Every structure is written in structure tokens, then in C-alpha cells.
Structure 1
Amino acid sequence: MKLKYIFIVSLFSSVFSAQIQKDSVRHVEQINLLVKKKLVERKADRLIFNVEASVASQGMDASETLANVPLMKVDENMGSISIAGKSSVSVMVNGRMLNLTGAALLNYLKSIRSENISKIEVITTPPSKYEAQGNSGIVNIILKKNPNLGFSGNLNTNLIQRTYSGFSSNGSLNYQTEKFNSSLKLTYYDSAKRSDENYTILGATQNYSNSVRRDMWKELTPTLNMSYKISKNSEIGMEYIYAHQKSGMDIVNTTKNITSDHQEENLLTHTFHREKLPTHTLSAYYDLKLDSLGKKLSLAGNFYKNNSDTEVNFSTLTLSDHSVQNVKTTSLISPQIFSVQADLELPFSFGTIETGVKFNQFKNSSDIKYFNLNAGQYAEDPLRANIFSYQEENYAAYFSFAKSFGEHWETKAGLRYENTNAESVTISTNTQNKYNYGQWFPSAYVSYKEDKNVFSFSYSRRINRPSMGNLNPFRWYSNPYSYSSGNPLLTPAYINNWELGYTFNNKFSTSIYYLRMKNAFGQISSIDDLSQISTYLNYYNNNFWGLNASYTDTFFKFWESSISMNSTLQNSSVFNIEAQPQKGSSFSYSINNTFSLNKAKTFSLFLNYNHSLPYRNVNSYFYDFPELTSGVKISLMEKKLQINATVTNIFAQRYRGELYFSDNTQKMDNYWDGRSFRLSVNYTFGGSKKKISKKNIKFEEKERAQ
């Protein structure tokens, strides 16, 4: 009887325990479901978009996922990623700056699956921990921890049909143990597009230029990541990227020039442009946890180098006398970047302190040669040759303090100091320029949360240093008369950002912002007889007042929609050019929709519309640009196999604008093969699941090598 009683009690306890476990699982699932509903979160210094909570963002790559983030815009035609109210952004993955631009950045993001992304942080006013470089915000893509022990990976193929066909493929193979983590990724793409560019300058002298261009890219990029946990408190790791890139352009340009005395000249130029660009990037880190409370020391080093070898052949026919000029230019450009940094994070009961130091060194050398074809032999023209060298060293230190007051208030403030020494030498003109400047870059953030309402205020000061391409005075010729060049006398621009934000119920978000930019630079074109000359100048100051808003929600359980808008008012002043700046304004909006077509949500349709209305800025005017994108997504084999088909820029819109100067008006009308059909197939495989942490390291300077 006693044994029977014990058995019954034991059985009851087991059933009760099992029921508790089931209830706990249900409770956890309910919590997860609740978390998934929080699409947008507002923190003191950033806006967070939870990718896992967005049905629209499933079954995509990272570039497509970014386009679903409120106030983010991804333009594959321009090769740009931007935040509403910002000219462009820097992109990080797990806190590591990618420092890629254009097609290289988008192709890298296409190798990341949305299923591997936990959340995306949009930092419109970056804190002092990050480089002060850049007139834009930062987007930080936070990846999920790889849950697979043993071997796992994925294979992805994309077919792209524009005017020309193209494709890209990438695959990754991962291997993990409790202490060791490694990943080998291989990416290859071969693509081309057609461009039709028209540029007109109307003044006392008139110049009409049309270029029909075929752009081609090929790249093979292996990437190796490795990390090892030395102990429970320390870890080391490295990443090596080798990019073997080849690019080319075949261009047919027609130019008509009418002088002030009505003399007309017509030129026809065929250009053959080829470039080889092998690139090496090596990064390493060491992380040490100082205690169980979260105190941590991080050390990191980065090295980047490429050797751009370019040859351009162009043949120009002058129609007035039917003469032909055959010219060849060659260039060897070798940028190199080295950086080391140390970051210390110290959480205490009274708040969290972050501090660190960093050293960056930039080097660049270029050797440009110009050859004329005479009697079947190329002869060098030393007057058009150029050897240029540039070296820059940046020393930086920062300190920040963050503190939360109860459940409602969150604050953060920081100060960064950067000192820059720069020197450039132009051999052809025997000129040398030296710069030395130090600047303070403060930042501050406050947020208040009450129930479903979150209010925030942020401020940061930034610097926009010219890239090496902006500074290099070498001339890129489009024909024997016309060229573009950099300017070694460029100086940095400075930006102050203020922003007041509000979020309601993790769905609606809005902000009012003010941006003050001083000593900004850009590219300016002018005419000198038959020559159209483009160079860079510091030439304007700008004031922006802006309002943006977004709302993301799910309706009827099958329709997820995200609506956003941005509006700005601007006024400007100019110097170094003869122009009359105008008060400007802009307004843009987007509506992204995803419809789940079956109960399991494995088959969906998306329809996205973006529209930028006509706007003015400084001395320019840009026409409206509407864009419609649509496609379908299919998930099979328990979402291991995913197929996407997308049509972009369905109406094949063109980019059109005008620039106004005192003595001329300049007009552009361009089409960059925006309409395309894309078919993507992705297959994921994996081993046993267990969470293993993976560290990514920052390399924030590489984009300035462009």
C-alpha cells in the first residue's frame, strides 16, 4: 500500500512537473510572440528595427531587408544606402564597420540572409565611441549567434536581367565547437548594366554631352573568419578578405561645343576602360572580460591595401576636319590603411563608462601617365602625367558616460577628440601641402519612456574629411579635351546634428531634426573652350530643418505595411563659386506592403512604392523620382530553400536635375538601367544547434580609400 501511495504521488508529481514545463514553454512562446510584435524600439541613441518581428523581412538578403526598415532607402541603381534626411550612411555588421561603397557594399550585403539578422540599429547621430568621420548616420546590422555546432552553411545564386544579363553566387561553410569558430565564405559575381548620361552646360559657351556606357564587374572574394575562446573570459579572432576585382567600361560619347562666337565643334569618342583591383583586408581582435559584471577590454587592429591598375584607351574623331586622336592613359594607385584601437567598457552601479583610444594611418600613392599615338607608336606626354602621394595620421580618444534613472529615463553623454596630421605632394607641379588640425566632437542623448510613449533627444558633432579620390589631382580624361580631377587643397566639412524623436507603441516613430553643415565640398563642372572640366571645391554652408515619420503594422494577420515620409526645409550660402543659392525644400514618402498568401506564410507577395517629389538644395533643382517595385517570395523545405523573384523600377524612371550658376545653367538627364528582374535561390544547411558567440570587429576608415 505504501509503495502504491509512493507510486501515485510520484506519477502525480511527474505529470504536474510536465504540465509546468508545458505551461512554461507556452509562456515563453507567448513572450516571444509579444516580442515579435515590437517592430520598432527607441533607445537613447538609436532606433531599433527587429527583423525577427517583421514578416516582410523574411526570406530576403540584407540589402532587401534594409529597404524594409522605416526611413531607410536602398538604391541599387545608384549603389547607395541612405537614411531619410541624410546623404548616405555607414554600414556596420555587429559593430564592425564595412567601409565598402557602391556595388561592393550591396554585393556584400546580399551574402547575408535576413534569417541570420536579429535586428538593425539606425543611429542618426552617432555617439563618441564611433569615428567622427562622415556627414551621415550609421546602420548597425546585428546578426544572430550561429546556433550550429559542427558544420553548417548556405548556398545562394542570383540571376539579374537588366539590358544585359548578370549573376552572382555566394556560399559559406561554417565549423564550430565549444571554443573554436570558423567560417569560409566565397562570393563571385559577374554583372553589367547600360547607362545613358546627358550633361548640358548653357552659358556664353554651350556644351552638350551624351554618353552611352556599358559598365561591367567581375569579382571573386574569399573571406576567412576564425575565433578561439582562450578561457571563459578571453577570446581572440581574425578576419581576412581577399577581393580579386575586375571592372570595365565601354563608352560612346558625343560632344557638341558652341563657342560664344557661334563656332561649333562636334566630337565622337570611343573609350575602352579596364581596371584590375586586388584588395587585401586583415583584421584581428582580443577581448578580455575583467569581471562577471560586464567590464571588458577590447583590442583590435586593421590593415587594408589595394593596387588599382587601370588602362584607358580612347579614340576621338573631330568631325570638322575628320582628324582622329588616339590616346592611352595608365594609372597605378595604391591606398593603404593601418589602424589600432583599444576600448574599455566599465559598467558600475552608478552608470556605465566607455573610453578608448585609436590611431589611424592613411597612405596613398598614384602614378598617372598619358600617351599619344603617333605613327603607330605611343609616346608619353609628360605635361599630362602626374605622380601624387598623400599621408594622413589621426589620433583619437573618447570618453562617454551612460546612466538610467529608474524605468523611465535613459541618458548618455560623450566627448571625442581627434587630431589630424596630413601631407600631400604633387610631383608634376612640385607642390606640397601640409595640414594639422585638432577638434572636439561632443555628443549627448536623453530618452524618456512612459507606457507606450518614448521621447528622445540627441546631439552630435561630426567631420567630413575628403576621400583620397577627392584629394588626388590626377586627371581622368573622357576625351583629349575634357577631364575630371581631385583637389589637394580641399579641407574638411563640419556637421552639427540635433534631433528630437518620439515613438508610440513600437509602431509609430517620428523625429524633428536640424543639421548645420559648414565648409561642405562637392564636384563642380565648367567649360574652357572645348574642355569640360570637373573638380572638387569647398563651396557651401547648409542648414537643414527636417521632419520624418513612419508607421509599421500588421493588418488582418496577412498584410504587413510600412509607411514613411520625410520633409525638409533648407537655406544655404556659397563661396568660391559664382552662384545664387536658393531656399530649398523636399518631400518624399514610401509605402511597403507584404501580403502572405497562405496560412503558413511561406508564399507572399510584396509591392513597394517610393516617391521623391521635386526639390531644391543650395544652387540645384532635382525633378521628382517615383519608383515601383514588386515581387514574390516562396519558402520550401521548412524554410531551408527560399526563392525570390523581384522586378525593380518598373516604370524605368530617369534621374534629372539642374544646377544654376551666375554665368551658366547645367542640366543632367540620366538613366542607369534601373529596371531589372532578379531571381534569387537560397539553400541553408546546418548541424546540431547550440549558441556560440561570434565577434565582429570595427574597421571604420576603409571607405575613404575610394
Structure 2
Amino acid sequence: MKKIFLIAASLLSIFSYAQKKDSLQIKNIETVTINGKKKALLERKADRLIFNVEASIASQGMDGAETLANVPMLKVDDNLGNISITGKSSVNVMINGRMLNLSGTALLNYLKTIRSENIAKIEVITTPPAKYEAQGNSGLINIVLKKNPNLGFSGNINSTLIQRTYSGFSNSGTLNYQTERFSGSVKFNYYDSAKRSEENYTILGATQNYSRSVRKDMWNELTPNLNLSYKLNKNSEIGVEYIYAHQKSAMNIVNETKNINPDSTVENLLTHTFHREKLPAHTLSAYYDLKLDTLGKKLSFAGNFFKNNSDTDVNFSTLKVNDNSVQDVKTTSIISPQVFSLQGDLKLPFSFGTIETGLKFNQFKNSTDLQYFNIINNQYIPDLQRANLFNYQEENYAAYVSYTKSFGEHWETKAGLRYENTHAQSFTPSTNTGNSYNYGQWFPSAFVSYKQDKNIFNLSYSRRINRPSMSNLNPFRWYSNPYSYSSGNPLLTPSYINNLELGYTYNSKFSASIYYLKLKNGFGQISMINGLSQIGTYLNYYNNDFYGFNVSYTGKFFKFWEASLSVNGSLTDSKVYNIEAETWKGHSLSYSFNNTFTLNKSKTLFFFANYSQDLPYKNVNSSFQNFSNLNSGIKISLMEKQLQINATVTNIFAQKYRGNMYFSDNSQHFNNYWDGRSFRLSVNYTFGNNKKKVNTKNIKFDEKDRAQ
């Protein structure tokens, strides 16, 4: 194992944030107290659950990803590289209402550049209202950052070292400059890491296929970010943000495949794969905000543009062990997604309630070019039967209106209606085939909340749509060897989801909810065997009725121990079509127990131990085995909390992910380990001048994630 060296920067002239004056203001989200009272850990609004980060000792001195793991109903899985909300198949993350175009490991790496000290609150929106995109069977997580408290120069630097099988590191920094009217910030994030993965996949039927892959995944990314805003006058502001992501990824894979045919003949393949990808991405966003009066009426315009050019080379050499023949192949692919959006929003608060309305236009374009070459005597021979071109364009037009009204101190209501019209067309030049879709749908939502003393009840409903992503639709064949491939399906159609949820919060510590989700026309990836070929594609193939509950409690036991306990369960009734599969009544049960211990009187040294377990569960035609996870570490705060040092060990038991899928003519089984056990050592340092609080605008760009 390589030695790890940590270089911590040392800077001069450090200060503490002065918050005494602001601690008496009810509307200031940065303070811990309201009217002299300690701020509640949990708050319930009509359409969201709010977790106040400053009220949680466990969430201090952490990065953004670790902070999310402390929030009820949220689960952060560093092994799989995903974030989920209980009862949701996916989740979208916003920063101050601006959607992030990140997912998986890239999203987690970005969140690790945010410090919990800079987060005011985290909003969990399980049934998004009409203002937000109706796309996806997903909830929303909105991370609300504190207002930048500094005039003049300020900033922070962070360095993290990661030890898995291989060593890695990430560095990030922010430099801010602000005056009374101008605000500018330059940010950067550099990440370089690798991990070892082992994947075992077995298909048992008339033909039996056993596959084992050992893979080294490598990432290298540099992401600078420029954010500028200017107040034209006391009522109007303009701003622009530019993000450039220079990303490189690579995989070295050794795959062994054993295929037993119905006549009992055995074929063995050994494939070495070298995958290299360059992924430069540009995002440009601009906004204009205009306050129409002093009562809160506001008009906002925003425009966004995103362009990405993925250039990928894959070289693989396959040895057919039976006859000792070798087949060398090279594939190249260029993928160029482009997203443009323009929106306008109007907020009109009146004495009888608040009306919000808006219009939005989105355009998605994507062109892809895959070339396949057989390498014979060092010559690249094109295989036109396996090459492909694919063009896709989609336009969405949306309009919404919502109405919010509070009745006295106890009742809060919100209702909205959104209409989205979609026109999509795809074309494959090589086969001269294409598809075209044009559909419009209404998406209603409604919320009601009742508060009485320490008790808060809320009821919510929303309807949503899950459109396939560009990669789901792309008919490209992505080959892992000359015989096996996966591809998208241009004939996929959207699925529709109805969500109903009843929630309860007591004393800002105990939270519970029961929910029902009805999904129609669900789609996913299906694998099948055809001789030596293992083929994966996407199909619409199931409907779901999903019933679930969530219970959580966060509180202090003695003065030094803060604990959080969460329990989740569900029942599922599924029906499949387009495939022959065995289905059953699904069920799941999981729990987590997080503990943070304060080790000294000055509250600068902490020890934490977090344990979670997913008991064996079933869904549609799949079953998954038990998975448990134990993370532990220490946190140290120095120099009046301006220097933070964290040491963490994750997935101490090195658990594997194991599961099964059952079809009428075969069963499929996986047993995977993605290098989950790791040691992390991070240092964060904050510097700057503290004079006066100034707002920084963040821009929404909801639809960029569908370019993935």
C-alpha cells in the first residue's frame, strides 16, 4: 500500500463569523436561534421536510455528502455512487433551487466540495409541486447555502486523501469577492482517484453463462466555475454563471466468460479491455430578477445552455480458449448532447394568498457516431454492420400555476397544475428508420399541512412523468467483447407516476410518513443470452403499486451523545408484460443508526459511528440479499472552527451486493464488490474578511441530467 501524504495549507489573519445581531432575526436562515430560542432540527412545510443543519451536532465539520446522510429519508451510498429518498427510484439535487447536472460518483464528488458550515438547511421534497419539472419518478433535495457573509475577499481550500485498493485525492478551492452591488466567485475542483471492482454475473437456463470481471476504474476531473452577479438598482439584478468540466475516465477490465450450451459443449472467453474517455462539458447560465413592489411581487427570467462532447476509445482483445484464436477490436464513439432552456416565472403575493405562474421551453439535441473496427495484421478494418449513427431531438413546452394560502396559525395549503407538451423524434441514417412522438399531459399537485403545538400533519399528492434519457433511447451497441453488447431502445415510451403521502412530525425530532406510489409503463434494462452473446437492452415491461413507510427520530441522549434512528419498509405489487418473468409480492425493510459523541467540553473533538442494514428484499422479479454498512471516524475543529480535520473509515465489513432476477426460461444472479472499504483524511481551511452579509444568486437548470 502506498504511503499517504497530506499537505495542509496555512494562511494568515483568520476570523469568526459575527452573528450576534442576526441571531434575533426570525427570517435569517443562517442563525441557530429564533427570538432567543434554539432553532428546531426538523420543520414541516406543506410540500417539504426541512432539516436545519446548524441544529445538528452530527452534521458539523462534514462535507455535503456526509451531511445528507444525516437527513431523515435520505440515503447516501458511496459504494454505488448514488443518493436516494425513501420510496423514490431516483433523486435530483438542487443548490439554492438550481438543478445540478450531475449523477452518481460525479455528484458525490461535487457535494464533497461543500462544507456543512456553509449549509443553512436541506429541504427534502418527496412530491415536487407544479413549479418544478414533472420529469422523473424522483424526489428533490434542495441544499440551501448560507448567504456569503463577506465583503471584500474570502474563500476556502479543501484537500482529501482517499485510500481504497488504490490511493486517490481531491482538492477544491473557492475565492469570493463582493461589494455592495457586485458579487463574483471563482471555484475549482480537482479529483484524481481509482478503485478496484469485481463483478460476477451468472445466467442459468437452457444455456448457462458465467461471467467474472475484475476492473480498475480511474477518474480525473478539473472543474473551474465562474459566477458573477450585479445589482442594477435596489429592485433588479442580473447574473451569469459558467462551468467548464474537463473530465477523463478510464477502465482496465479483465473478463472471463464460460458458456455451457444446451448440448453440454463448453466455450471459454478471456477478454482484456482498455476503455478511455474524454468528456469536456460547458454550461452557461444567465438570469434577470426584477422586484415589482415592496410586497414581494417578483418577475424572473433565466436561460441555460449545456454542451458536451464525449470522445471514447475502447480496445479489447478476446481469446477464444477452445481454439486459441484471438480477435482484436477497436470501437470509437462521439456523443454530442446539447440542451437549451428558457423560462420565466412570476410570483404574486396577495392578502388572499400567493400565486405563482411561469412558462418554460426546453430543447434537447443529441448526435452519436459509433465506429467498429476489426484489427487484422495491425490494420483497422471497418465493420459497417456494427457501426451506427443516431440523431435525437426533443422539445418540451411547459406552463404552470400554483396557489399558496395559510389559514391562521394552523393550516397551510398549496395547489398547482402544470402542463407539459413534448415533441420528440429520432433517426438512424444507417437503416433510414426513425420514430416521432407528440404528447401533452397535465400534472396536478396538492399539499395541505396542519400544525397544533408540537404536532404537524401534512398530506400531499403529485403526478409525474419519467421520460427515457438519451442513453436509454440510443440504439448503439456498446460491445464488451465481439459477442456481447448492451444498447438503448428508441421505441421506449415514458412511464407515469402518481404519488400520495401522509406525514407527521412531533417536537421537531420525530418524523413519520406513509406513502403510496402507482407507476405505469415502467422501463429498465433487461439481459438475455443468445449463444455466446450476452445482450442487454431497455424495455417498458412493468407496472407497480408501491406502499411504504418511514419513521425516524433524532435527539440528544445526555449532553455528549446525539443519535438518529431511521426505519423504512415497503410492500410492492407488480405486474409485468413484454417479458416472460416470475413476479411476487415485493417487500423491503431497512434501518440505520447514526451516533455522534462529543469528546471534550469545547466541542471541537467528535467521534462518530454509523450503522445501516438492508434486510433481504424483493421487487418485481428481483430479490436482493442482506447488505450492512458500518462507517466510523473522528472530527477535529481547530482555530475557532476555521480548520477542520476529518478521518473516516467506510464499509468496514467490505460488504458485497448480491441479488437475483427470475424469468420463465432463465434465472440471473450477481455478486459484486465495488471497493467500498476506504479510508479518507480531509482538511478544510476557511479565510476572509467579515463585514456584511450579501446575497449570491444560484441559477436553476433542471433538465441537464437527461443528457446523461
* TM-score (norm. length: structure 2): 0.95
The separation in 2 between residues aligned to 1:628 and 1:39, in whole angstroms, is 25
- Say yes or no: does 1:463 pair with 2:465: yes
Measure how far apart 1:689 and its partner are. Answer: 2.7
Q: Give SS of 2:149's match.
A: strand
The separation in 2 between residues aligned to 1:623 and 1:194, in whole angstroms, is 22
Q: Give SS of 1:314's match.
A: strand
The amino acid of 1:139's aligned partner reads: I
Q: Give SS of 2:288's match.
A: strand
The separation in 2 between residues aligned to 1:110 and 1:24, in whole angstroms, is 28
Provide the identity percentage: 75
Contact 1:35–1:53 (CA under 8 A) maintained in structure 2: no
Residue 691 to residue 26, structure 1, CA distance change in 2 (3 Å):
closer
Please name the residue that 1:628 is paired with. 630
Deviations 1:513-554 (Å, cap 9, x if unpaired)?
000000000000000000000000000000110111110111
The separation in 1 between residues aligned to 2:431 and 2:210, in whole angstroms, is 31
Unaligned runs of 5+ in 2: 1-19
Q: Give SS of 2:702's match.
A: coil
Measure how far apart 1:99 and its partner are. Answer: 2.4
Please name the residue that 1:99 is paired with. 101
The amino acid of 1:197's aligned partner reads: E
Equivalent pairs counted in the alignment come to 685
2:82 to 80, 83, 87: 80
1:681 to 660, 680, 683: 683
Q: Give SS of 2:252's match.
A: strand
The amino acid of 1:364's aligned partner reads: N
Measure how far apart 1:668 and its partner are. Answer: 0.4
Q: Give SS of 1:704's match.
A: helix
Please name the residue that 1:544 is paired with. 546
Please name the residue that 2:245 is paired with. 243
Measure how far apart 1:34 and its partner are. Answer: 6.1
Measure how far apart 1:181 and its partner are. Answer: 0.3
2:571 to 569, 572, 577: 569
The amino acid of 2:670's aligned partner reads: M
Measure how far apart 1:24 and its partner are. Answer: 12
Deviations 1:144-200 (Å, cap 9, x if unpaired)?
000000000000000000000000000000000000000000110100000000000
Please name the residue that 2:8 is paired with. none
Please name the residue that 1:310 is paired with. 312
Residue 549 to residue 378, structure 1, CA distance change in 2 (3 Å):
same
Please name the residue that 1:592 is paired with. 594
- Say yes or no: does 1:617 pair with 2:627: no
The separation in 1 between residues aligned to 2:375 and 2:221, in whole angstroms, is 32
Measure how far apart 1:77 and its partner are. Answer: 1.3
Please name the residue that 2:673 is paired with. 671
Contact 1:149–1:690 (CA under 8 A) maintained in structure 2: yes
Q: Give SS of 1:103's match.
A: helix
The separation in 2 between residues aligned to 1:52 and 1:242, in whole angstroms, is 32
The separation in 2 between residues aligned to 1:319 and 1:239, in whole angstroms, is 55
Measure how far apart 1:697 and its partner are. Answer: 1.2
Residue 458 to residue 27, structure 1, CA distance change in 2 (3 Å):
closer
2:223 to 197, 221, 224: 221
Please name the residue that 1:9 is paired with. none
Measure how far apart 1:107 and its partner are. Answer: 1.3
Please name the residue that 2:369 is paired with. 367
Please name the residue that 1:136 is paired with. 138
Segments of 4+ in structure 1 off by > 2 A? 22-37
Please name the residue that 1:405 is paired with. 407
Contact 1:630–1:647 (CA under 8 A) maintained in structure 2: yes
Contact 2:394–2:424 (CA under 8 A) maintained in structure 1: yes
Contact 2:590–2:615 (CA under 8 A) maintained in structure 1: yes
Please name the residue that 2:352 is paired with. 350
1:509-588 correspondence runs (5 A): 509-588=511-590
Measure how far apart 1:36 and its partner are. Answer: 3.8
Contact 2:632–2:648 (CA under 8 A) maintained in structure 1: yes
The separation in 2 between residues aligned to 1:426 and 1:589, in whole angstroms, is 47
Please name the residue that 1:705 is paired with. 707
Please name the residue that 2:696 is paired with. 694
Please name the residue that 1:449 is paired with. 451
2:69 to 49, 62, 67: 67
The separation in 2 between residues aligned to 1:60 and 1:553, in whole angstroms, is 19
Measure how far apart 1:37 and its partner are. Answer: 4.6
Please name the residue that 1:10 is paired with. none
Backbone CA RMSD of aligned residues: 1.4
Please name the residue that 2:207 is paired with. 205
Please name the residue that 1:179 is paired with. 181
2:148 to 146, 149, 165: 146
Please name the residue that 1:55 is paired with. 57
Contact 1:539–1:577 (CA under 8 A) maintained in structure 2: yes
The amino acid of 1:493's aligned partner reads: S
The separation in 2 between residues aligned to 1:173 and 1:666, in whole angstroms, is 51
Contact 2:563–2:596 (CA under 8 A) maintained in structure 1: yes
Measure how far apart 1:426 and its partner are. Answer: 1.2
Contact 2:365–2:394 (CA under 8 A) maintained in structure 1: yes
The separation in 1 between residues aligned to 2:413 and 2:134, in whole angstroms, is 20
Measure how far apart 1:272 and its partner are. Answer: 0.4
Deviations 1:242-301 (Å, cap 9, x if unpaired)?
000000000000000011111110000000000000000001100000000000001000
Q: Give SS of 1:64's match.
A: helix
1:237-276 correspondence runs (5 A): 237-276=239-278
Contact 2:200–2:213 (CA under 8 A) maintained in structure 1: yes
Please name the residue that 1:4 is paired with. none
The separation in 1 between residues aligned to 2:101 and 2:406, in whole angstroms, is 32
Please name the residue that 1:17 is paired with. none
The separation in 2 between residues aligned to 1:65 and 1:505, in whole angstroms, is 21
Measure how far apart 1:580 and its partner are. Answer: 2.1
Contact 1:160–1:167 (CA under 8 A) maintained in structure 2: yes
1:331 to 329, 333, 353: 333
Measure how far apart 1:27 and its partner are. Answer: 11
Measure how far apart 1:35 and its partner are. Answer: 5.0
The separation in 1 between residues aligned to 2:567 and 2:92, in whole angstroms, is 21
The separation in 2 between residues aligned to 1:308 and 1:134, in whole angstroms, is 24
Measure how far apart 1:688 and its partner are. Answer: 2.4
Deviations 1:1-56 (Å, cap 9, x if unpaired)?
xxxxxxxxxxxxxxxxxxxxx99989999944965451001110000000011111
Unaligned runs of 5+ in 1: 1-21
The separation in 2 between residues aligned to 1:23 and 1:313, in whole angstroms, is 63
The amino acid of 2:624's aligned partner reads: F
The separation in 2 between residues aligned to 1:333 and 1:226, in whole angstroms, is 30
Please name the residue that 2:112 is paired with. 110
The amino acid of 1:512's aligned partner reads: I
1:477 to 461, 476, 479: 479
* TM-score (norm. length: structure 1): 0.96
Q: Give SS of 1:169's match.
A: strand
The amino acid of 1:184's aligned partner reads: V
Contact 1:89–1:138 (CA under 8 A) maintained in structure 2: yes
Q: Give SS of 2:105's match.
A: helix
Please name the residue that 2:3 is paired with. none
The separation in 2 between residues aligned to 1:102 and 1:123, in whole angstroms, is 20
The separation in 2 between residues aligned to 1:308 and 1:273, in whole angstroms, is 13
The separation in 2 between residues aligned to 1:144 and 1:113, in whole angstroms, is 11
The separation in 1 between residues aligned to 2:24 and 2:470, in whole angstroms, is 57
Deviations 1:201-245 (Å, cap 9, x if unpaired)?
000000000000000000011000000000110000011000000
Q: Give SS of 1:582's match.
A: coil
Measure how far apart 1:618 and its partner are. Answer: 0.2
Residue 100 to residue 27, structure 1, CA distance change in 2 (3 Å):
closer
Contact 2:24–2:35 (CA under 8 A) maintained in structure 1: no
1:9-48 correspondence runs (5 A): 31-32=33-34, 35-48=37-50
Contact 2:23–2:33 (CA under 8 A) maintained in structure 1: no
